[in-house]
Amino acid sequence: MKGIQVEKVGGTFDYVEDLIKPVPGRKQILVKSLVTAINPVEPFMQGTGILVLSWPIVLGCDASGVVSEVGEDVSKFKVGDKVFGCTRLGHAGYGTFQEFFIMDEDLTFKNEGNLSLEEAATVGVGLLTAALGLIRGLKIELIPKKVTETSEWVVIIGAAGAVGSFAVQIAHLCGYKVLAACSPSATKLVESLGANATYSHRIPLEDQLKQISLITGGRFSRVFDASAFGTETGMGALAKHTGSNVKPKYFSTTNDWLPIEPVEGVEIDLVTLGAIGKSADEHQREVTAAIATFIPQLEKLLESGQLKPMEYEVVGDVGIKEVLKALDFYQKKKGSTKKIVVKVAEE
């Protein structure tokens, strides 16, 4: 089987043709990879070895494809079904930078045809990370509600990225006014996704805090840092710029590697999508169970068009080797609001 493999920590991404085709186990499916996306986590894992369980490894975790084989006790999918989502990170056999890969039945989205293959490949990592941050971390109920003048604000930092763009949509859909932190060039994008107001994350910290206070009037108790670099802003806003009677307060962040100084009255949640599908400890099991609960609800919202996929850019032609071009292109285009995707095979 063909794929893109990394031999060791810090090794290069190499094209190989001698990979063993994985076999799905109980409650698993084997997926023919059709379109895969590029995420920051792939070069991160390549360079640091974090989340990788064994070497050599095929990376890639965000893809769309078609079911090629089903394992024992699979009931949701059949051969030929189109699927998409985020696979287990760092596990042999699950990487999407190869011709076939494994997915867990309960952690996989079914594509009923309303999303193109390319659109579907933009969803998994961003949407599930956002869902963990807002639903599990900020304790937002995933129930569609209308936004009104009296709706509470939620602050989303890094609103234009893969995670932030889905977070804006979820918060808006659940009846919250959204204050989005993004670069000025991304203002129109985040507003089109449901943001009620924006401010620039490039201005000094104190100016950011003043903007949050001015725009929300202190009527917020939830901050989601989708950027992983907004802890100081988020915690500062919750500590000093919410109403005195606002309790509890919630801060959720994708920064799960740097310690966060506790603030009285603020519940802190670290988003760890890397735990998906794993069961070595209670935290991993809890995150996996939460994702399995989210997916049926999120599928309906995607099918109805209430949640929209990311804008994307296709790199290269068709084939496994095109992943190398996409990885190189991604490194040169960091900061783009479009998801980089590559067609691994024809349907």
Tens digit of each residue's pLDDT (9 = 90 or more) over 5-39: 999 999 999 999 999 999 999 999 999 999 999 99
**CB proximity list for 88: less than 8 A, separation 6 or greater:** 61, 94, 102, 104, 276, 277, 278
What are the tens digits of pLDDT across the range 107-128? 999 999 899 999 999 999 999 9
Mean pLDDT across 191-215? 97
Cα of 156 vs its chain's centroid, Å: 14
Measured CA to CA, the distance from residue 6 to residue 18 in angstroms comes to 13
Domains in the chain: ranges and CATH? 3-123+309-343 (3.90.180.10), 128-275 (3.40.50.720)
pLDDT at 336: 77
pLDDT in the model for residue 245: 75
Both tokens of 91, joined, read: 């596990």
Question: What local confidence, expressed as pLDDT, does residue 108 receive?
Answer: 98
Does pLDDT of 165 surpass 70? yes
Give yes or no for residue 335 having a pLDDT over 70: no
Task: Give the chain's mean pLDDT.
Answer: 96
Tokens of 315: 């790199």
Query: Which residue, 237, 96, 93, 40, is CA-closest to 154?
Result: 237
